[in-house]
Amino acid sequence: MNAPLVPPPGIASCPVPRRILMGPGPSDMPPRVVAALGHPAIGHLDPDFVRMMEEIKLLLRYAFQTNNALTFAVSGPGSVGMETCFVNLVEPGDKVIVCRNGVFGGRMIENVQRFGGTAVIVEDAWGEPVDPQKVAEALAAHPDARAVAFVHAETSTGAQSDAATLIGLARAKGALAIVDTVTSLGGTPVLADAWGADAIYSGSQKCLSCVPGLAPVTFSARAVERVKARKGKVPSWFMDLGLVLEYWSAPGGKRTYHHTAPVNSLFALHESLVMLKDEGLENAWARHRLHHEALKAGFETLGLQFVVREDARLPQLNAVHVPAGIDEAGVRKQLLEKFNLEIGAGLGPLAGKVWRFGLMGYSARRENVELCLRALADVLSGMGQAKDQRAALAAAESVYARPVR
3-state DSSP assignment of residue 101: coil
Report pLDDT for 322: 98
Report pLDDT for 58: 97
CA distance 257 to 239: 14
376 close to 395: Cβ distance less than 8 angstroms: no
Distance from chain centroid for Cα 89: 21
Report pLDDT for 116: 97
Report pLDDT for 119: 98
Q: What is the pLDDT of residues 245-260, one digit of tens each?
A: 888 876 666 778 888 8
Give whole-number Cα distances, 152 to 196, 314, 346, in Å.
14, 10, 19
Report pLDDT for 252: 62
Respond yes or no on whether the N-terminal peptide bond of residue 403 is cis (omega within 30° of 0). Answer: no
φ, ψ (nearest 5 deg) of residue 16 = -115, 120
Report pLDDT for 405: 62
Domains and CATH numbers, the chain: 31-277 (3.40.640.10), 280-400 (3.90.1150.10)
Report pLDDT for 244: 85
Distance from chain centroid for Cα 181: 6
Residue length of the chain = 405
3-state DSSP assignment of residue 221: helix
- Residue at 351: amino acid letter: A
Report pLDDT for 216: 98
Give whole-number Cα distances, 87 to 71, 102, 105, 268, 281, in Å.
17, 22, 16, 27, 30
Give the residue ranges of the chain where pLDDT is below 50: none
> Taking every pair of C-alpha atoms in the chain, what is the biggest distance, in angstroms?
77
Report pLDDT for 251: 60
